[in-house]
Amino acid sequence: MLLKITILASILASMPLRAEQAPGEPPAGPGLELIQRSCISCHDIYMITTKRKTPQQWAEVMDLMSARGAEVTPEEMQIIEKYLSQNFPAPKH
């Protein structure tokens, strides 16, 4: 699990931040609770929540983290993906 979380952390850390994405308190919800349980041991919450991605991109990140050993069930992955997609969407062009 630690390896999978470490990998997620390195991937998220390599993604560029946007100036307009100042950290704030992430919205409450079951997705946040799962992130805090499954991801925060390796990732700062703001490293995750300052990213902006499409639903497909969030799903790809979750698939990658799962492949690297993140200890989340498929159902939990869907909850996290939905939470991130709704609360941290990619900017519309």
Q: How far apart are CA 72 and CA 69, in angstroms?
A: 9
Backbone angle region of 18, left / alpha / beta, with phi > 0 → left and psi within -120 to 50 → alpha = beta
Tens-place pLDDT, residues 13-29: 555 544 344 467 899 99
What's the DSSP call for residue 15?
S
Please give the residue that has the higher pLDDT: either 20 or 72.
Answer: 72
Report yes or no on whether pTM surpasses 0.85. Answer: no
The runs of H, that is alpha helices, within the chain are 2-14, 30-38, 45-49, 55-67, 74-87
Tens-place pLDDT, residues 16-68: 544 344 467 899 999 999 999 998 888 889 989 999 999 999 999 999 988 88
Q: Which amino acid is at 37?
A: R
Q: How confident is the model at residue 1 (pLDDT cuts 50, 70, 90)?
A: low
Please give the residue that has the higher pLDDT: either 66 or 9.
Answer: 66
Q: At what angle do helices 74-87 and 30-38 cross, to 10 degrees?
A: 120
Please give the residue that has the higher pLDDT: either 81 or 92.
Answer: 81
Q: What class is the 2-12+32-87 domain?
A: mainly alpha
Domain boundaries, the chain: 2-12+32-87
